[in-house]
């Protein structure tokens, strides 16, 4: 009997669809198909690959409403955020369609008259991706598009919580004319598919977005066949508000970075570090703005905060809030829940915590939920020390109008993505990725296609 996967709506607990998991044999077959088709796809010229990607992006735009509804249904995020995610996905496809035409090699000035030295780039081969439930379309697009643009074939396992939008995206790629064996999906349990991907001799690259522990195990398992890896892992983003900052701007941007996708975003601000002279004013204003946010079903008009993806996520958020409160944090907004284990839905009202101190769990672990913990600092050096005291290094934000403070923070924060007076730095044309245990490699920007390419060096002698 084939295993089935129930996809549920996290806002209601209702089953949206049951899909069949691929068997091990089916997954192996698809890997073999992707490997075999690599030769043909990598020989399609770059301009044709670019045109096919452009057609895919057009198809996605034509189906924007359908795809956004699917995302809201299976992930729960507000419909307007889901629509934004569809367009964000297109931005990656459009960007990499253009990048396909800019995969350049080079010649190296020779050290001997009889020699010529040439460097060329070629696609790595079959790429296997594992994508998360928090941005089921965008995280898939930003892996599939550079892989296909580079001339790699691609296979993805979407998150079992949210497979439907990714599957529909890939069907649209086929409708746009991208051959079926060039871009495929499989469904199944993460550990089973992960093991098949990492142990397969056909797969030359693993790309993953998700938790740091799973990322580490994929890296370990990929070592056996020395595969390329790109890892977008956990984050624990600090957001620093300096003494001179524009407080209203900092509050507005904190709301947008902290509560995007109900706080279930790797680059969400997780530790809000405010100069002691303005900490109360900032907290009051943040609490006031937070109290205006509407929590509910993502399909309801005006919803800002959707459900938490599942019970495990909900329990972790609750634990973080309760641990902080027990250890002395003050609740400035939220700490209210609406959940039904039987039915299977879990909501957390956006929460602001004041007077948060280093011994609280929330200062060390990624909450992945709508909770804004505020702590204070005296000197900018201390703010940097607090911000960097984590094994993660994905995103960091800072608010200051003093160029010296801004420059100091730019140079001293150990994070791959920085937002200076900006809570939304992500863009298809900019590199996204983390330092330390937040990952390896970058997605998007000029950097985003390189991890899908091999460098080949040719030395011609006897000339
Ligand atoms: C993520 O949570 O990993 C993605 C967020 C983004 O692309 O901005």
Residue closest by Cα to atom 1 of ligand 1: 266
- What residue's CA is closest to ligand 1, atom 8? 426
* 86: nearest Cα among 53, 55, 58, 50: 58
* Of the candidates 265, 296, 338, 335, the residue with the CA atom closest to the CA atom of residue 11: 296
Q: Which residues are catalytic?
A: 232, 266
Q: In this predicted model, what pLDDT tens digit does every residue of 309-340 receive, in sequence order?
A: 999 999 999 999 999 999 999 999 999 999 99
What pTM was computed for the model? 0.97
DSSP E strands, 175-312? 183-185, 203-209, 228-232, 237-241, 269-275
Q: What is the pLDDT of residues 233-262, one digit of tens each?
A: 999 999 999 999 999 999 999 999 999 999
Residue segments in the chain with a per-residue pLDDT below the cut of 50: none
Q: Which ligand 1 atom is at minimum distance from the Cα of 232? A: 3
Q: Is 226 left (phi over 0), alpha (psi -120 to 50) or beta?
A: left
Q: How many CA atoms lie within 13 A of 328 on its CB side?
A: 7
| Residues in Cβ contact with 245 at an 8 Å cutoff, skipping those fewer than 6 apart | 275, 278, 399, 400, 401, 421
The phi and psi torsions of 225 (rounded to 5 degrees) equal -110, 15
Question: What residues flank ligand 1, with Cβ below 6 Å?
Answer: 134-135, 209, 232, 265-267, 426, 432
Compute the distance from residue 401 Cα to the ligand 1 centre, in Å: 26
So what's the pLDDT on residue 1?
A: 67
Please tell me the distance from the alpha carbon of residue 362 to that of residue 356, in angstroms, as a whole number. Answer: 9
Ligand 1: residue of 135, 136, 443 to mutate (most ligand atoms within 8 A of CB) is 135
């Amino acid at each position: 009997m084939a295993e089935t996967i129930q996809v549920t709506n996290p806002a209601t607990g209702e089953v949206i669809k049951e899909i069949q998991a691929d068997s091990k044999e089916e997954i192996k077959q698809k890997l073999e198909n992707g490997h075999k088709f690599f030769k043909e796809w990598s020989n399609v010229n770059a301009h044709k690959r670019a045109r096919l990607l452009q057609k895919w992006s057009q198809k996605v735009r034509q189906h924007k409403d359908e795809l956004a509804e699917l995302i809201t249904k299976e992930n729960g995020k507000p419909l307007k955020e889901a629509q934004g995610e569809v367009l964000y996905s297109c931005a990656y496809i459009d960007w990499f369609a253009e990048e396909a035409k800019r995969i350049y090699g080079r010649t190296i000035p020779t050290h001997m008259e009889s020699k010529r030295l040439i460097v060329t780039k070629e696609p790595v081969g079959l790429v296997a991706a594992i994508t998360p439930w928090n941005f089921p379309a965008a995280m898939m697009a930003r892996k599939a598009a550079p892989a296909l643009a580079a001339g790699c074939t691609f296979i993805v396992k979407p998150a079992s919580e949210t497979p439907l939008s990714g599957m529909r995206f890939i069907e649209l790629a086929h409708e746009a004319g991208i051959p079926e064996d060039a871009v495929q999906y499989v469904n199944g349990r993460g550990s089973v598919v992960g093991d098949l991907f990492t142990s397969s001799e056909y797969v030359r690259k693993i790309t993953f977005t998700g938790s740091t522990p799973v990322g580490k195990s994929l890296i370990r398992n990929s070592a056996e066949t020395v595969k390329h890896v790109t890892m977008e892992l956990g984050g624990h983003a600090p957001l620093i508000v300096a003494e001179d900052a524009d407080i209203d701007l900092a509050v507005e941007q904190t709301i947008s970075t902290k509560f995007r996708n109900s706080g279930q975003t790797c680059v969400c601000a997780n530790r809000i570090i405010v100069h002691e002279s303005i900490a109360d004013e900032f907290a009051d204003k943040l609490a006031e703005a937070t109290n205006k946010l509407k929590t509910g079903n993502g399909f309801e008009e005006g919803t800002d905060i959707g459900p938490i993806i599942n019970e495990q996520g909900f329990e972790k958020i609750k634990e973080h809030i309760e641990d902080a409160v027990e250890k002395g944090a003050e609740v400035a907004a939220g700490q209210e829940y609406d959940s039904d284990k039987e039915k299977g839905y879990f909501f957390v009202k956006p929460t602001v915590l004041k007077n948060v101190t280093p011994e609280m769990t929330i200062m060390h672990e990624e909450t992945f939920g709508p909770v804004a913990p505020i702590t204070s600092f005296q000197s900018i050096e201390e703010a940097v020390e607090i911000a960097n005291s984590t094994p993660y290094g994905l995103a960091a934000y800072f608010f200051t109008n003093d160029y010296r403070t801004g420059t100091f923070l730019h140079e001293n924060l150990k994070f791959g993505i920085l937002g200076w007076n900006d809570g939304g730095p992500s863009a298809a044309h900019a590199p996204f990725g983390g330092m330390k245990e937040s990952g390896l490699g970058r997605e998007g920007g000029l950097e985003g296609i390189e991890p899908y390419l091999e460098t080949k060096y040719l030395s011609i002698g006897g000339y």
